[in-house]
Amino acid sequence: MLSAIRSSLSGDPAAHATGRDKNNGSSSRPTLIFLHIPKAAGSTFDAVLERKFKGKPILTIRKPVQEIEQLKGLPRADRERLQLIKGHFPYGIHEHLSQPFEYITILREPVERIISHYYFVLRRPDHYLYDAVASQKIGLKEYVLGGLSPELDNGQARLIAGPSRRIPYGACSRELLEQAKQNLQHHFSIVGLAERFDETMLLVSRRFGWRPVCYVRQNVTDNRPRRDQFSPDIIEAIKAANWVDMELYAFAQELFQTAVRERGGPFFKFRLARYKARNASYCEKQLNQSARHHARGGVSRT
């Protein structure tokens, strides 16, 4: 049994709205699949999902190669009880499920994502890219062009298109772009945007019948330089290296606008303003609680 599958798998599954994609399984409960793109507000959304699915059977994928193999080895009954699968893995994990399923994801403007990714790595000695970047004192431009990781070479499109074949660094094609577009349009019920996270949260809540969940931003790369602090040649290098992601993001924006128009409802702007105000109060409350906790020396009092 995977250690990442938390809670008892013997509990009764909660009913969710039926997803658009279905396998041949007989279960009417769709398993929610969150495809978490690194540095695209996924950690914040992950924390929301943890709260909504607390006590339910969840699978969090951290090491895709071995953990997806373990998922394939689970008894069918255990796989069918999973209510949520989330993590950094490519589209296609549904092929190992027999029950109905539903994909959601969040994309981020590619230049902002790469800048955030670079400074996040610099501040995380435990990150797999840290040693290479820190020891060689690699700058942002070299970080993107140096072939360090597929994450930096149209990483969003790679995940969304799926692992049909291994594409060398710098070899992403229009074929990959078109596959990613097709997947987003036809196989994801929610395509969110990191830059419009509050609106994304309202669309998610409406889709699943949830009361909009307040949140505190997680895993934020603080005090990083702004985009306009970099020279134009660096920004252009990022765009050129991630041209597939640039086009995919523009497509995702179109899908998002359509979703807001068609699913948001007539009072969407009003609900958005109310939600922003409620979330601001929630964040302030959490910050005050954290400050009091630290003032007591980090010891909880009951």
Question: Is pLDDT at 15 greater than 90 in this prediction?
Answer: no
pLDDT tens digits along 48-87: 999 999 999 999 998 888 899 999 999 999 999 999 999 9
Question: Is pLDDT at 11 greater than 60 in this prediction?
Answer: no
pLDDT tens digits along 158-167: 999 997 567 8
Q: Are 227 and 215 in contact (CB under 8 A)?
A: no
Question: Is the full-model pTM beyond 0.75?
Answer: yes
What pLDDT does residue 28 have? 54
Domain ranges of the chain: 5-109+161-223+243-292
Determine the Cα–Cα distance for residues 3 and 21; give it in Å rounded to an integer: 27
pLDDT tens digits along 176-231: 999 999 999 999 999 999 999 999 999 999 999 999 889 989 888 777 899 999 99
Query: Strands across the sheet with 188-193, in order?
Result: 5-6, 58-61, 84-87, 31-35, 101-107, 188-193
What pLDDT does residue 224 have? 87
What pLDDT does residue 164 have? 59
